[in-house]
Structure 1
């Protein structure tokens, strides 16, 4: 094992998760959110065994003697939430741009452990990590019970074009670029159809679960355009077709209209951010069944930080101010236009653990609270292509969270999660329990 890999393994072993509990436990919930129907139900009892929901019973059900009970009085039980757009290996700060030159992978790995735990504690039992070399290793450590965190569907390195958003050499001076040489498909940078195929195969070799491309410029990268298209349709189609061979779905970061059109036409599963989404793009997305993951939180965060001198480099600041402020309005138009919406925050831009604030921003945009909750449950499961999570039903994963109040009646309740169960293991209990 190379030294860097050994250090990464040590970093990810910083805490431990309890073993899977086999004995049955009953959760008594005052209310239950039916994610499939998008409605709130009354009192229910959820019986969990071997990491799965064994049964779902109306009311305060009588159970066999000896069954452990957890009474969640005054609380709503919901399926564990999924955030479809996070970056657990980093978190924005004024030092973010220099840290890439000063820190080692093990530094980011240590940080990711804390970010993962905060995310789980906030009620997010699954995430899709869309770009970061740490995330596949963090995923494995969580799955092995070495650290606490959400279930991770990891993209690994995003696929970009030369000079585009996610080219890892953007911002390097000429001497450093000369020493390192131009990045290629192994590093996730492509410039042809053959490169596109090779980049996907490299992600397969690296153990990714999903493919992420940067179909347009981005806000936080060292490049002047935040919305110019960065792939040809044929290049994206080569990514999508090769990804399909390996059972992968493709998420496309996209701010500009033309880049979105190319990505949708080429068959990506989801458009992330979608700032300049036109009516034509919306029609195309509905025709193709393409999902939209707005990441309103990230837009509002960067627009706010752009007002602070020195927070972003000067090449980034105007993009953050111009693009970030528009995403919430785009999400509102997309919902009214009938585009399918799923939940994502782009946390890592904003602070990890604050993910649920996206629900509040969605409702501010005119999206009904019940739909916003579905976006992080059944919709997210559909985007991921999994059928064992996102609902509380017999046989499904026992990913269950609870919070005081009724989030359908008052969406602000989402910030109060105080019970978290993932795969039948309790990771957070109300203080009074």
Structure 2
């Protein structure tokens, strides 16, 4: 059958005049997160993947538009976890054998499962701060293409360490199989290798850089506090990363190592257990963010009580360092250090991320401060405030909701009932 040009033009005109349905979210409360304010009886209109309008009062659109009734809920920006390891999860003694028994594909498939759990818990954006084989890069790409469901991922891919340092992947292995990992594997010694490791991360597709400036808790190495980079190495990493537009997240427990990193100009300190007043002053001077990960500290401290759960080198570190992070957060908050939300999920279970809100409030933060740490400040940390982190017109429609008012009961943040990312609803209250 021959179709005339006139018929084609007529069909095209019909298509062009069709109204694309919008979503009208009627929320009993709204936390925009651009300040400490709470709004009541608000309608947020989502058109495509963006927030197009915000109305005071309950508004409905046309017949084709969808209405989401959240009148008994509090709506807020999609939550942001700034410290995760989305392709792994610690499961006790067996976890230390996985690097010998699992392949890259195994980690990637685990990541698909953990990413969806994270999204359904209300976390629409995460930073992934270290993996084994750059599998989080593939996971990020698959999510961005719509192949699998998960949060927006900003990944550091493989962390950068020094020989024998936290994140040297050969720690705890027999010397005959250790080899001599270098910048390609994220292990450096000296300025030239530091620069090469950053450039390799860029080549691998990482969004940011993660370094381990001090010893760590779960690595099979004696010290959890000692500094593990020299000043010139740190400066080379920072300068090179900035050339490539990459921020720098820093694992650090010990005071000396984290202060060296702050002075070099890194973006955030993770964990930060042995910070003190001098460290707080330095971080405020350099506008360095602090990502506490209190959940991880609590988790490792509890597991250290179980015989055989951790290797004997790890157990005393977990028992000593873990319980201190809550107090560190309290002191940092009182000192006025900028704080962004992070859990270190992958140590504890993915999907349990919301517990960190409860612990942040226990440390002395107001509920609105904890929520803004996981929205506004998360977006600020990753330089995404133009797109994410607050409920404003023109920003991406990443929105979550909980029943009631979390400013009255912060535990509600562990029970997210509505999740929208990029304008698509992934979870909604039962009718």
Using structure 2 for the length normalisation, give the TM-score. 0.94
Q: For residue 50 of structure 1, report the CA deviation from its aligned partner.
A: 1.5
Aligned to 2:9: none
User: Secondary structure at the residue paired with 1:230?
Assistant: coil
Please say if 1:174 is aligned against 2:175. Answer: yes
Whole-Å separation in 1 of the counterparts to 2:20 and 2:146:
16
Whole-Å separation in 1 of the counterparts to 2:80 and 2:167:
24
Q: For residue 142 of structure 1, report the CA deviation from its aligned partner.
A: 0.3
Contact 2:32 2:392 survives alignment (8 Å): no
Whole-Å separation in 2 of the counterparts to 1:428 and 1:65:
23
Aligned to 2:383: 385
Contact 1:84 1:343 survives alignment (8 Å): yes
Whole-Å separation in 2 of the counterparts to 1:423 and 1:174:
48
Q: For residue 46 of structure 1, report the CA deviation from its aligned partner.
A: 0.6
Please say if 1:36 is aligned against 2:34. Answer: yes
Q: Cα deviations across residues 228-263 of structure 1 (Å, max 9, x unaligned)?
A: 000011111110110011100000000000001100
Superposition pairs for residues 73-152 of structure 1, below 5 Å?
73-94=71-92, 95-132=94-131, 133-152=134-153
Whole-Å separation in 1 of the counterparts to 2:208 and 2:335:
27
Aligned to 2:278: 280
Q: For residue 72 of structure 1, report the CA deviation from its aligned partner.
A: 1.2
Match of 2:24 among 26, 49, 66: 26
Match of 2:199 among 198, 201, 222: 201
Q: For residue 405 of structure 1, report the CA deviation from its aligned partner.
A: 1.0
Q: Cα deviations across residues 74-122 of structure 1 (Å, max 9, x unaligned)?
A: 1000100000000011101121001111111111111111100000000
User: Secondary structure at the residue paired with 2:273?
Assistant: coil
Aligned to 1:229: 227
Q: Cα deviations across residues 375-426 of structure 1 (Å, max 9, x unaligned)?
A: 0000000000112101111000000001101111110111111110000000
Please say if 1:290 is aligned against 2:291. Answer: no
Superposition pairs for residues 398-409 of structure 1, below 5 Å?
398-409=397-408
Stretch moving more, 34-43 or 392-401:
34-43
Aligned to 1:7: none
Q: For residue 22 of structure 1, report the CA deviation from its aligned partner.
A: 5.6
Whole-Å separation in 1 of the counterparts to 2:63 and 2:103:
54
Whole-Å separation in 2 of the counterparts to 1:351 and 1:336:
29
Contact 1:40 1:408 survives alignment (8 Å): no
User: Secondary structure at the residue paired with 1:48?
Assistant: strand
Whole-Å separation in 1 of the counterparts to 2:350 and 2:253:
23
Q: Report how many residues are paired.
A: 409
Q: For residue 23 of structure 1, report the CA deviation from its aligned partner.
A: 2.7
Contact 1:213 1:250 survives alignment (8 Å): yes
Whole-Å separation in 1 of the counterparts to 2:242 and 2:358:
35
Q: Cα deviations across residues 130-182 of structure 1 (Å, max 9, x unaligned)?
A: 001221110001001110000000100000000000001101101212xxx20
Whole-Å separation in 2 of the counterparts to 1:49 and 1:112:
30
Whole-Å separation in 2 of the counterparts to 1:355 and 1:258:
29
Contact 1:91 1:348 survives alignment (8 Å): yes
Whole-Å separation in 1 of the counterparts to 2:109 and 2:64:
41
Which consecutive residues of structure 2, in runs of 5 or more, have no partner in the other structure?
A: 1-18
Structure ID, larger Rg: 2
User: Secondary structure at the residue paired with 2:31?
Assistant: strand
User: Secondary structure at the residue paired with 1:175?
Assistant: helix
Contact 2:41 2:71 survives alignment (8 Å): no
Aligned to 1:374: 372
Contact 1:22 1:51 survives alignment (8 Å): no
Stretch moving more, 407-416 or 21-30:
21-30
Contact 2:235 2:264 survives alignment (8 Å): yes
Whole-Å separation in 2 of the counterparts to 1:100 and 1:65:
55
User: Secondary structure at the residue paired with 2:401?
Assistant: strand
Superposition pairs for residues 237-248 of structure 1, below 5 Å?
237-248=235-246
Match of 1:51 among 49, 52, 61: 49
Aligned to 2:8: none
4+ residue runs over 6 A deviation:
none
Whole-Å separation in 1 of the counterparts to 2:317 and 2:60:
58
Aligned to 1:421: 420
Whole-Å separation in 2 of the counterparts to 1:107 and 1:232:
35
Whole-Å separation in 2 of the counterparts to 1:428 and 1:23:
19
Q: For residue 65 of structure 1, report the CA deviation from its aligned partner.
A: 3.5
Q: For residue 300 of structure 1, report the CA deviation from its aligned partner.
A: 0.3
Whole-Å separation in 1 of the counterparts to 2:35 and 2:165:
41
Contact 2:79 2:124 survives alignment (8 Å): yes
Contact 1:53 1:397 survives alignment (8 Å): yes
Aligned to 2:411: 412
Contact 1:135 1:156 survives alignment (8 Å): yes
RMSD: 1.0
User: Secondary structure at the residue paired with 1:42?
Assistant: strand
Aligned to 1:158: 159
Q: For residue 62 of structure 1, report the CA deviation from its aligned partner.
A: 4.0
